[in-house]
Amino acid sequence: MELLSDVVVVDLTRALAGPHAGMMLGDLGARVIKVETPAGGDDSRGWGPPFVEGESTYFLSANRNKESVTADLKSAEGKEFLTKLIRKADILLENFRPGVLDRLGFSVERLHELNPGLIVLSITGFGHDGPEGGRAGYDQIAQGEGGLMSVTGDAEPTKVGVPIADLLAGMYGAYGALAALHERSVTGKGRVVRTSLLAAMVGVHAFHGTKWTVAGQVPGRVGNHHAQIAPYGMFRTADDSVQVAVGSEGQWRTFAPIVGLDPADSRFASNADRVGNRDELIAVIEAAFSAAPADKWLETLAEQGIPAGKVRDIQQVYEWDQTLSQGLLIDVDHPTLGSIQLPGPPLRFDNQPYAGARETNLPPPRLGEHNESVREWLAE
């Protein structure tokens, strides 16, 4: 079951936001043709360590289920090659700075002359227009400029541990491209879909955004605790930390006696009280938790129906039987590395045991690996 098996995607992107969008479409069965510069290809091919047999694990993370071709888009031959691809494509992905594609001779108007049904997904750093639309996009800068770092961390603003602005821009972009593809099935016409790292950051402000836009309050940082629910966060035990989420008054009435509190204690009787007295509440909980190790507390909390969990490292996540049961690791045969495992697609359809929409996943390609096969296909 390959949901997008009839869709051809031309991926001109590099680094992470655009490649992630392309990989999402590839995971759903689309044919994704990644066009790279002959001299080195996608920048992320050089991002490391670690490298394994010369292959960047960073590149491997964002480019499964794609083919790679090389072309110099500044040359006449490269422009001709891209023109042929565009004519056969359903979706074009690009994350150049605003104006670059125009200077290469492929303005939106030209793209739709070549292919009126083409969906163009354009991902920029701060938007394609506006007073700072020309700025280059880098994840950590966008996390700071987009407000996410201001509500993350404890003593000082902290970035998220993955390039979350890039990843979310890619997700929003793929979602928009599929909406436009659906529209084309009705109208026959393509359109441009735009998003940016900035837009992705604002798009996930959630309750922090409305705290300002509606209540006029500037959110701050609360470390490993929820800004508007308590107790909800990470707590130290005798040997390790556990995460606990008390998300309702019913759960509070069950949880409070576990840590020696009266649920009606005036300091903590309502969620607003508990948020207002958060530091005191954390101290009481951690004093109780210090009497036993984390595993014992997790067992007790589970018995009482209180949501709780461990803080796992990456190795522990990939060795966890629950992760494995969800098909979140895939096996591919890489032309250089041989048989390897990759993190897999995060979607499952119906009752299939594997994730994504492909029965067979393609390994991230070597630079130019499909030069011959793609050019033969264009000549058909």
User: What pairs with residue 308 in β-bridges?
Assistant: 244
Among candidates 38, 43, 115, which has minimal Cα distance to 77?
38
Catalytic residue, chosen from 90, 154, 166, 321, is 166
Residues 6+ apart with CB under 8 A from 255: 231, 244, 246, 301, 304, 306
Residues 6+ apart with CB under 8 A from 166: 15, 16, 17, 20, 139, 197
For residue 294, count other CB atoms closer than 10 A to its CB. Answer: 19
3-state secondary structure at position 116 = coil
The answer to whether residue 166 is catalytic is yes
Write the single-letter amino acid at 61.
S
Residues 6+ apart with CB under 8 A from 319: none
Distance linking the first and last C-alpha atoms of the chain:
26
**Residues 139, 164: Cα–Cα separation, whole Å:** 7
Write the single-letter amino acid at 136.
A
**Which residue numbers are catalytic?**
166
